[in-house]
Structure 1
C-alpha cells in the first residue's frame, strides 16, 4: 500500500553486498522461482536473516524471508502446468533492507497495526498516545519501523511449515505493551497457503496483522493486472478522504464502482475517476466490510474474495475470520522500482488482498475492536487458496 517513506535500518553491509551479488557458497541453492538463497543470507540488526522454502507435491513453492516475514516468491502451476511466480518482490535482501532507495511492504507480515491510524492518535485505557506519522499525516503499518522492517525469529517445523515469532517491546513506535507475536505459514496439499497470526500483551494495546503480498496472477509483472477478475463478498465498504483515511462512514456498494459482488475485471472500475473514491486513491485502495463476518465472528470457511487471471487460468480464493479486506491495486507503483529479474513495476502491476480490521478501528468505537488486553490472545486467520479455473 502506498508511497511510504521509511528511515534506513542498520544492516550488515558487507554481508548484504555479497548476498546481492549472488556469491556462491556451500549453503547456496536456487529455488524453483529462480532465487539464490545466498542472496538472502545475512545479518540485520545483529540477527540472522535467511530465505526459507516451503513446497508440496503439486509443484507449489513459497519462499519466505524472516526479514519482515515477507513472502518473496509464490510459485503455482498455471493452466498449462507452467510454474508461475505470482507475487512481486526483490531477489536479494539488500533491496528489501534498503528502506531509503527501495522502500516497500512487498509480501510482508505487517504489525503492530496494519493500515492507517488517524493522525497517529490513540486513546487506550484513558491514556492519549501519539504514534509516529509516516504517511499523509497518519501512522501507517505500525510506523516507520513497523514489523515489516524488523527480523522475526524463524523456525522451520517441516517442509511445509514455517513459524516466525517477534517480541515487540513496550514503546515500539510508541505502541504500549510488550507484545509477543507469531506468524505461521503452512503450505497445504490442496495448494492453499494458510497464515495464522497470534499475539499476547502485558498491557492493553492494539493489534491488527496482515500479509501484504502484491499478486500478479498473470505471471508477468511488467504488465498490469487490469484483465484480472476480482470478486469481493461484501455489500458495504468504508469510504476514505483525500489522505486515505476512513471517514467513519460505512457505505453500500450498490450502483458504484466499488461493487465487486459479481466477478468483474479490475480494469472496468480501477480507472473510473468520475467516482471520487477511485479518483482520490488513483485506483482502488479501500477496505470492504465482508459479508463473511457477522455478529462479531468471521467465517473462514466461506470465500471472502477471489482473483482470477484469464491469461494463466490461475484462481486465488481468500478466506479469513477478519471483518475486512483492504484491496490495493498498486496505484503508487510507477516503474521506478525494479524487482525480481530487474523488472520494473508499473502502476496497477498487482492487486493486494489484505485481510484485517477496518482502518483506524481504534478511533471508530462502533467498528470491530482491535484492542488486546493482558490474558487475551489475538488470533487472525487468512488462507490463500490457489487452483486452475
Structure 2
C-alpha cells in the first residue's frame, strides 16, 4: 500500500485546523457531557446540569436518575465536588454501583426477598445474603428515566415500571424531581402512583465526601443524627424487628462526634454486624421536613450537608465495602470509608414488620417523599 505524502505546508494547515476546532464545554466539575451521551435499551441517556445564581452546580444523568457531581464552595470560596461517582456513562453501566442513584422500587433490604400482600406471597430477586437489596440486581438505579428539564435549576426524571417488574405488582409511574435552590440546597421530591396494590420506598444513594478529596476517608467528619433509637441488624444486615435506644452506645450521634470515633469498635455487636455503620436510625422529626434530621461537616473544608425529610428513618452507610477496586472521577481510587450515604427512607423490611410505618401504595393514592440536602460552609 502506497503512503500518501502531504506537502509540509498543507500538513501544518491541517494540524492548525484541528487545534482550532471548538472543544466540548466541560461542566464546572470537569465532566464532558459527550461522555454521557448514549442509548441504553434503546432509550437516550444524557448528562444534565443545574446551576443557581450562587454558583453551585449539580450534574445528573437519567441513567438511574443519578447525581454525578455536586460543586459547592469550601471555607476559602474554592469550588469542590463533594460526591463520589464516575466521569463517563460506560462506567455507570458496566461497574455495579449505587453512586448517586434514585433507588426503587424498594430501597434497602427485604428479608429473603419475600413479602405478603393480601395473602399472596411475592418472591423478589435475591442479591444480598439471600435478601433483596435496592430493588434487586436490576433495580431502578440500572434503568433509564425519562428526563424532562423544567428550567435551569430543576429537572424531573420519570420511570415507568411495568406490572411484574422484578416481580413487584402494579404498573407504577414514579417521578423524581431535583430542584437546586438559591440557598444551595438540593430538594428531591419523589412521587409515584400504581394501578395495583404494591409497595414502594425510594431514596437517593449519593456518597458524600465533603472534603472535596475522595482519596481521603470521611472518618474525621463530624456527624449528627436527630434520633434516639435505631433498628439493629443481624450478621446478614437484616433488621431484627427491634427498635433500640442509642443511649450509651456507639450509635449515639445526638451529640455530634467524629464518624470514626467508635466505628472500629467491633466488640460492639452492631458495628461488627454492619462492618461499621450501615444502619437505619429512627428519626425524632415525626415526618416534619422542616426539622433537621442529620448533618455532616468536614473539618478540613468547612463544608456541611444538612438533611431534611418527611421520612421516618435514615440509613447512614459509611462506605464500608468500598475496597479500592473501583476508580472514580479524576482517576481517584475509592477506598474504604471514603464516602458517607444519608439515605432517607421507611425502615428496611417494613413489608414484613406490620408494626412499622407502612410502605403499601394503593391505586388512587400518590406516594410522596422528600429529601433535602442543604449545603453550608462553616468558617
- Bin of the TM-score, shorter chain as denominator length: over 0.9
* In the alignment, structure 1 residue 109 sits paired with structure 2 residue 105: no
State the TM-score, normalizing by the size of structure 1: 0.91
Q: Which residues of structure 1 form unaligned runs of 5+?
A: 1-24
* In the alignment, structure 1 residue 92 sits paired with structure 2 residue 88: yes
* In the alignment, structure 1 residue 273 sits paired with structure 2 residue 266: yes
Which residue of the partner structure matches residue 279 of structure 2? 286
* In the alignment, structure 1 residue 230 sits paired with structure 2 residue 246: no
Matched position secondary structure for 1:348 = coil
* In the alignment, structure 1 residue 73 sits paired with structure 2 residue 69: yes
* In the alignment, structure 1 residue 357 sits paired with structure 2 residue 350: no
In 2, Cα distance between equivalents of 1:222 and 1:136: 29
Number of matched pairs? 358
Which residue of the partner structure matches residue 13 of structure 2? none
Which residue of the partner structure matches residue 196 of structure 1? 189
Which residue of the partner structure matches residue 334 of structure 1? 323
In 1, Cα distance between equivalents of 2:93 and 2:75: 35
Matched position secondary structure for 2:75 = coil
* Aligned-pair CA distance for 1:363: 0.3
Matched position secondary structure for 1:63 = strand
Contact 1:185–1:196 under 8 Å retained in 2: yes
In 2, Cα distance between equivalents of 1:361 and 1:299: 20
Q: Which residues of structure 2 form unaligned runs of 5+?
A: 1-20
In 1, Cα distance between equivalents of 2:159 and 2:25: 27
Which residue of the partner structure matches residue 50 of structure 2? 54
Which residue of the partner structure matches residue 40 of structure 2? 44
In 2, Cα distance between equivalents of 1:38 and 1:308: 33
* Aligned-pair CA distance for 1:26: 8.0
* In the alignment, structure 1 residue 131 sits paired with structure 2 residue 128: no
CA deviation map 1:281-320 (0-9, x unaligned): 1110000000002xxxx00001000000010000110000
Matched position secondary structure for 1:35 = coil
Instruction: Choose which of 369, 372, 379 in structure 1 pairs with 2:358.
Output: 369
Matched position secondary structure for 1:386 = strand
CA deviation map 1:333-379 (0-9, x unaligned): 01110000111000000110000000000000000000000010000
* Aligned-pair CA distance for 1:27: 9.5
In 1, Cα distance between equivalents of 2:22 and 2:155: 23
Contact 1:29–1:38 under 8 Å retained in 2: no
* In the alignment, structure 1 residue 218 sits paired with structure 2 residue 217: no
* Aligned-pair CA distance for 1:248: 0.1
In 1, Cα distance between equivalents of 2:59 and 2:345: 23
Change (3 A) 1:32 1:132: same
Higher-Rg member (1/2)? 2
CA deviation map 1:150-185 (0-9, x unaligned): 000001110000100010000000000000000000
Contact 1:27–1:38 under 8 Å retained in 2: no
CA deviation map 1:247-275 (0-9, x unaligned): 00000000000000011100102111111
User: For the aligned residues, what is the CA RMSD?
Assistant: 1.0
Which residue of the partner structure matches residue 5 of structure 2? none
Which residue of the partner structure matches residue 246 of structure 1? 239
* In the alignment, structure 1 residue 255 sits paired with structure 2 residue 248: yes
Which residue of the partner structure matches residue 316 of structure 1? 305
* Aligned-pair CA distance for 1:28: 3.6
Contact 1:134–1:144 under 8 Å retained in 2: yes
